[in-house]
Amino acid sequence: MPTMVAAPWQNRRRRVFQSVFQIDLSQPTPQSTPCVRFPDQGQPFGGPATSAAALAAGAVSTLSGSQSTILAEPGPLSYSSQPLFPSLAAVGDDQVAYDRAWHVVTARIALPPSATADDSFGTLAADSQQHPASQQAPFSSDAEFFQALTLIVHAPTVLPRATHTDDIVAWHAQQVRAHFAQHVIPLLSGCVDDNGDESRHEAGNHYERHMVIVMSSIRTLEAALRLYFYGLGLLMRGFGRLVDGSGSEAAAAEAELLATRFRRDIHALVGNSASEELMKSVSIVLARLAGTILGIPSVDGAGVDPITSRRPAPPTDDDFRALAARQRLHEIVEQLHSVGLAGERFQVLFAEIMESIMSKFVTGAYVGVWAASSSSTRSVSAATNTISRMPNPSSSSPCILALSDWVENHFARLSVEILSRVSPDPSSSPVTLSDVKTYQSLALGRLAALRISELFDIALAWPSSQGALDDLRATITTTARRLQLTASFSRALQTRLLHPGCSTLEILRTYIAIIRTLHALDHSKVLLGHVESSLQLYLCQREDAVRIVVTGLLASPEELRLAKKVKEAAKRQHHEKALSGAFMTPAVSRGVSRASPSTTGRRRQDSTPNIAVQDVPDDQQVLSSSSSTLVELALILNDPSQARRNAGAAPDISGADDDLDWADMGWVPDPVDAGANYKRPRSEDVIGTLISALGSEDVFIKEFASVVAGRLLGEPARFDQEMRVLDLLKRRFGEAALQNCDVMIKDVQDSKMVDGAIIRAREAQVGGGAGRAVLSTPVAGGREAKGEGETEPEYHARILSRLFWPDLDREHFLLPPPIVDYQRWYELGYEHLKSKRKLTWLNQLGQARVELELEDRTVTVDCSTVEATTIYAFQGADDGSGKPVQRSVEELYNELQMDEDLIAEALSFWANKGVLKRISQGVYAVVETIDAGGAGGDGPEPGSSAGGGASNEPEVESPRKASGAAGSSAGTLSAKEQERRAMYWQYIRGMLTNSSASMPLAQVSMMMKMLVPDGFPWSGEELQEFLGSKVASGELEVIGGKYKLVKK
Amino acid sequence: MEDNQNSAPGNVPATKLGGARKGIEPGLNASKRLQTELMQLMTSPAPGVSAFPSADGNLLAWRATIEGPDDTPYAGLTFKLSFEFPSNYPYAPPTVLFRTPIYHPNVDFSGRICLDILKDKWTAAYNIQTVLLSLQSLLGEPNNASPLNGEAAELWDKDPALFKTKVMDRHKDIEEDE
């Protein structure tokens, strides 16, 4: 409600009221009206007449009730009262004397009844303060006032019969309250409103606007308070005189007490009646100023330069902005305090502001700042070593040091400054040393919360996030925080990692990072144990997990080299970024390591031209290759520090209990949240953790064997990497568990010798067609080759010990006759060499080099034996008609007795090589000339076999195995698979016999998944197909969508 | 990681990890033991008996089938049984009931069986298959000394023909489609 409108209305209302009741509401002496007062015993009635006259004069003055103030009116009153005093005392009409004295005093200190505008309000107050005496001198002198005051104060003794007395100070307080409510509060709300209206247009500068509100409010209040304290001052001066006169110390003290109480009341009044809007403005102004002082960049800063707005940082000593803000804040706080706005509400407000500034500072300054501590130059492994040595580094990370410093030197300092200004008791320091410690621990708690929320990204960024881990380790000190950490981390895992959108490789890679991160954080592994169970469960659903781990372990040295390079490049780039001061988000750092390898490579090249250009494609290649293999594992496996630790762990296994290592200076007690059977792990043991997460060692070793088998049958002649990995794994799992792999490697090595021996024997007695020796023990595996008449093809075999190799499927097909011959003599040679043993050929696991002489070109291809056999069949089919040879899948199937899928695969392989082309569904023809093949396709290109018998001449040089055992082609069932199916059939029969006579597919599938050990890998479709085959063979029937055993 | 961290019951999907972990300690977990037994039953089935967990997938409740042995009154009949395993199996015997009505000296009319190995003679060395085989042989050689069905015990010796008739009367194939 605008004051301007309100004031006239109030006046009018008062006038109406007065015309009826003839009483001024603000009449200073309501209790002493004549009608309520009777003369005391023996008193003549003369007295009242005079007093009535005086009162009538007062009434006249009130009736005249103009806008002029009472202060301007007391003329007649004073005149008449002047002579009255002695006479009053003389006649002993104490009450009347008291009333008069009361009136004199109150008239003097009465407040202006209205104050309609800032100006009049202000000037009035100023005047009253500056020349209080001169203004009123003609009417009521100070002497008179003090005399009256003396009367009032000493009423009980001087005027013993004045029964109606009152406390002048309380009256003044009452007056002040009414005045404040009637006039000042509307003014204050006017300040807020007016400014609100104005600044609605000039959006943006909120701070300025609120500053205006605060300042104008303060000015208003100051003026009002000056007014109030003027009255009080008068009273006090009066008291002072009294005291001087009486010399009573107690009275002085009492007066002082009264004054203090009055001040306190007024401040409480102001503080409690300050509007929400005003307090809001105050808080905004305070927040802004305190923020500037403490180095929090302002949010609304249009004019703030972008660099400083990046991150909060403690201002330097000579930062003039901070200095100015500090001064401004001091002024404002002092003013607020002087007008009484610095009460409890202010302190709560201030506490809230400081709290939010602390949060802002911690989040703003340290989010994403994970740089390692000063020792960032240490190698990663060295860093982890150090960490495991010193479990409780009190000399913590730069973040913590900086934060503590900030709290102590800025945060606490500001608190001291502000609180001491508003503190009612200036002698005691408002902030004690222990308070500072509390602030610091609060700040560290916030840092911990921040790091906890970032932990997932920290793990991803490992090891460049060492610093953040140091922070965490130093701040995670309570069990509650540990729980918070694991809970929040588990949630992050669920939402960010464990969903179908992440590849198994990515999950494993993250898992490794998590293992290392949490180990660095808490090398007792208890934290890790808390978070990883969901991860492990999830990994169990990923069937390729074990394979990825194994291939990662076996990553070739080239891959390692490349991976290292990439890492360095990434690190370098990380550094560059860090140096440039750019803010690195976790997302960006992830991108560096995998998501956008090509751009990083490029960018690096741009920024550092001294890097050899040739490197770049290399790196990129690495990046792509490293992204498909879990090279991290191989890196860890090859890490000498890891190896050393493993070696160190070995005697541990043999029984030495490290709890008994009395000399271990790094010993710490087990974490409180460790489980009952908790056993202290020795190292971070990434590989061990990963392997145990994937189920059991058995599964792992099985997979390892099958991968190694594939590699052993493959190209490279040396198996250094495999041997080394094998050695490392032996150390972990023990000799016995990996015996199979030993045998496999030995087989391959022996094969070379045997092979050499057989070939030498063959050369010695060429054409020695010895009779077939039928020998008993079948020994697995071999290799085939094929060759053409005149040129003697080379033929080598690898001899595998069946029992020790993973199941290698036998694929049946007919080899080209020349190769069969070779096989036969090889077999004989072997049986000759090792009596009692026999070879079983695994024809499909070979490799052949085929040389095809076509009309216009010669093609040399390294291919699998299946492909070689298939193309060989085209040679045999040359009918001499002069047309390109055409064969259909069906013909080849009959001729080679090979699986149709394999044939189709082989045909499309040759079609890709440009040797064959597809004529129609399942029919392929030889492309004798490129033109013909490329041009039309259907034109019966001539010359094909015109080239004579030489058209296709596969020449096999070195047969070898190609595809790994595990990668067996579809279509055929291994013995193992047959066995499995038989077992499943047992289950299904048992189920339908006992559990329920008929079951729908879904239920069968559910039961199987639940009951088959090692898991039931079939999908619903596969199971349906299987059940369908049983229906077809008459063992099952389907009734109403449910499967049922056929009753016999 | 230490094993104890994730071996809390229910923490690990039984089908996935259970089989993969080497050496299932008998008794540590009834479900594991039962799964192993199921595997044994499936890979080396005994003639004339079979068993399987109930259709709701509860490993502690099984259904079993016994074919009546030749040369006994039960020849050619099949009997359904239910097994309820206590949670401390195999340290306590399962509760076994005939679900198919059977006329037999040691089986009462609600299917309860009087067989020492299912009571006080039980040891952890027994398993489902041995119980089934014992029951199968009980069909041919009832223990008439402690009958649950006195009439049957009497008739077994006195009047085999009447016994056989009673057996056939009582037997009724139950259809157990839920």
pLDDT in tens, A601-635: 333 333 333 333 333 334 444 344 445 666 777 77
Is A698 in the B-facing interface, judged by CB distances under 8 Å? Answer: yes
- Give the torsion through C-alpha atoms of A471, A476, A481, A485, to 10 deg: 50
Sequence-distant (≥ 6) Cβ neighbours of residue B155 within 8 angstroms: B162, B163, B166
User: pLDDT value at position A134?
Assistant: 40
Is the pLDDT score of A598 beyond 70? no
Residue A572 has what pLDDT? 61
Write out chain A residues lying below 8 Å of B59, CB-based.
Answer: 1010-1011
Position B132 pLDDT exceeds 80 = yes
How far B39 CA lies from chain A's nearest CA (Å)? 8
Can you name the residues that pair with A885 across neighbouring β-strands? none
How confident is the model at residue A882, as a pLDDT? 60
Q: Name B112's Cβ contacts closer than 8 Å, sequence gap at least 6.
A: B97, B98, B148
Contact A1010 B57 (CB under 8 A): yes
Does the CB of A1039 have a partner CB in chain B at under 8 Å?
no
Report the chain A residue with the minimal C-alpha distance to residue B50. A990
Check if the beta carbon of residue A488 is closer than 8 Å to that of residue A480.
no
pLDDT at res. B97: 92
Tokens encoding A960: 């070898």
When CB atoms are compared, the residue of B11, B36, B41 closest to A533 is B11
Better pLDDT: A996 or A717: A996
A441 vs A540: which has the higher pLDDT: A441
**Given an 8 Å threshold on Cβ–Cβ distance, is A681 in contact with B17?**
no
Pick from B19, B42, B51: CB nearest A1014: B19
Q: What is the pLDDT of residue A784?
A: 36
- Asked whether the beta carbons of residue B15 and residue A1010 sit closer than 8 angstroms, the reply is yes
pLDDT band for B94, please (50, 70, 90 cuts): very high
pLDDT at B161 over 80: yes
A975 against A334, higher pLDDT:
A334
Beta bridge partner(s), residue A925:
A886, A917
Report residue A862 as tokens. Answer: 């390294």
Of B77, B114, B132, B139, which residue is the catalytic one? Answer: B114
- Six-digit token pair at A419? 């609180």
Residues 621-680 in A contacting B (C-alpha not used; CB under 8 Å): 675-679
Q: Closest Cα of chain A to B154: distance in Å? A: 32
**pLDDT above 90 coverage of chain A, percent:** 0
Question: Which among A379-383, A590-594, A821-825 has the top mean pLDDT?
Answer: A821-825
Nearest residue in A to B3, CA atom: A692
Sheet holding A1036-1039, edge to edge: A998-1000, A1042-1045, A1036-1039
Q: Which of A511, A1011, A1042 to mutate to test the interface with B (most CBs of B within 10 A)?
A: A1011
Residue of A nearest to B66 (CA): A994
Three-state SS at B116: helix
Residues shown for chain B:
178
Average pLDDT over residues A855-874: 80
Looking at per-residue pLDDT, the higher value among A641 and B56 belongs to B56
Confidence of residue B96 (pLDDT cuts 50, 70, 90): very high
Nearest CA to CA, how far is B149 from chain A (Å)?
26
pLDDT at A394 over 60: no
Q: Do B63 and A675 touch (CB under 8 A)?
A: no
CA dihedral A1031, A1035, A1040, A1042 (to 10 degrees): -100
What phi and psi values does residue B104 have, to the nearest 5 degrees?
-155, 140
Q: Are the Cβ atoms of B65 and A529 closer than 8 angstroms?
A: no
Of the partner residues A677, A693, A695, the one whose CB lies closest to the CB of residue B1: A693
Chain B residue with minimum CA distance to A700? B20
Taking contacts as CB-CB distances below 8 angstroms, the residues of chain A near B42 are: 983, 986-987, 990
pLDDT tens profile A191-213: 776 554 544 444 446 777 788 88
3-class secondary structure, A299: coil
CA-based R_g, chain A, Å: 50
Identity of the residue in B22, B43, B53 whose CB atom sits nearest the CB atom of A995: B53
Average pLDDT across chain A, whole number: 67
B13 closest CB neighbour out of A529, A537, A679:
A537
Of B2, B20, B38, Cβ closest to residue A1011:
B38
Residues of B with CB under 8 A from a CB of A: 1-6, 11-22, 35-36, 38-39, 41-43, 45, 50-55, 57, 59, 62-65, 80, 175-178
Q: Considering only CA atoms, which of A954, A753, A935 is closest in space to residue A864? A: A954
Cβ-based contacts of B15 with chain A (< 8 Å): 1009-1013, 1015-1016
Q: pLDDT, tens digit, for every residue of B35-85? A: 888 888 888 888 889 898 888 778 888 999 999 888 888 888 889 999 999
For residue A999, list chain B residues with Cβ-Cβ distance below 8 A.
55
- Nearest-Cα distance to chain A for B106, in Å, is 23
CB < 8 Å from B in window 992-1021 of A:
993-999, 1003, 1006-1007, 1009-1016
| pLDDT at A629 (0 to 100) | 67
Interchain CB distance below 8 Å, A698 and B50? no
Q: What's at B29, amino acid-wise?
A: N
Task: Mark yes or no for CB contact B1/A1009 under 8 Å.
Answer: no
Residue B95: per-residue pLDDT: 92
A1011 and B43 within 8 Å at the Cβ level: the answer is no
ipTM: 0.79
Cis check for the bond before A816: say yes or no (omega within 30 of 0). no
Contacts of A995 in chain B (CB under 8 A): 52-55, 63
Q: Return the amino acid letter for A844.
A: Q
pLDDT tens track for A914-926? 788 887 777 888 8
Q: Which of B7, B21, B29, B42 to mutate to test the interface with A (most CBs of A within 10 A)?
A: B42
Please tell me the distance from the alpha carbon of residue B84 to that of residue B59, in angstroms, as a whole number. Answer: 9
pLDDT, residue B33, reads 85
Nearest to B176 among A688, A997, A1003 (CB): A997
Q: How far is CA A636 from CA A549, A559, A630, B94, in A?
A: 12, 13, 11, 51
Per DSSP bridges, beta strands A837-839 and A777-779 are: parallel
pTM of the model: 0.52
- From chain A residues 947-986, the ones with a CB under 8 A of any chain B CB are 983, 986
Whether residue A182 contacts residue A112, with contact meaning beta carbons closer than 8 Å, is answered with no
* CA separation for the pair A852, A929 (Å, rounded): 12
**Closest CA of chain A from B151, distance in Å:** 30
Q: Do A996 and B45 touch (CB under 8 A)?
A: no
Residue B22 designated active-site: no
In Å, how far are A540, A587, A588, A898, B6 from A497, measured between CA atoms? 14, 14, 17, 44, 20
State the pLDDT confidence band at A715, using cuts at 50, 70 and 90: low
Contact A692 B20 (CB under 8 A): no
The answer to whether the CB atoms of A994 and B63 lie below 8 A apart is yes
Q: Hey, what amino acid is at A674? A: A
The answer for residues whose C-beta is within 8 angstroms of residue A891's C-beta and 6 or more apart is A877
Say whether B177 and A998 touch across the interface (CB within 8 A): yes
Within 8 A of B58 by CB-CB distance, chain A residues are none
Question: Taking 80 as the threshold, does the pLDDT of residue A975 lie above it?
Answer: no
Q: Which of A310-314, A746-750, A873-877, B63-67 has the highest mean pLDDT?
A: B63-67
Q: Token digits for A782?
A: 């071999």
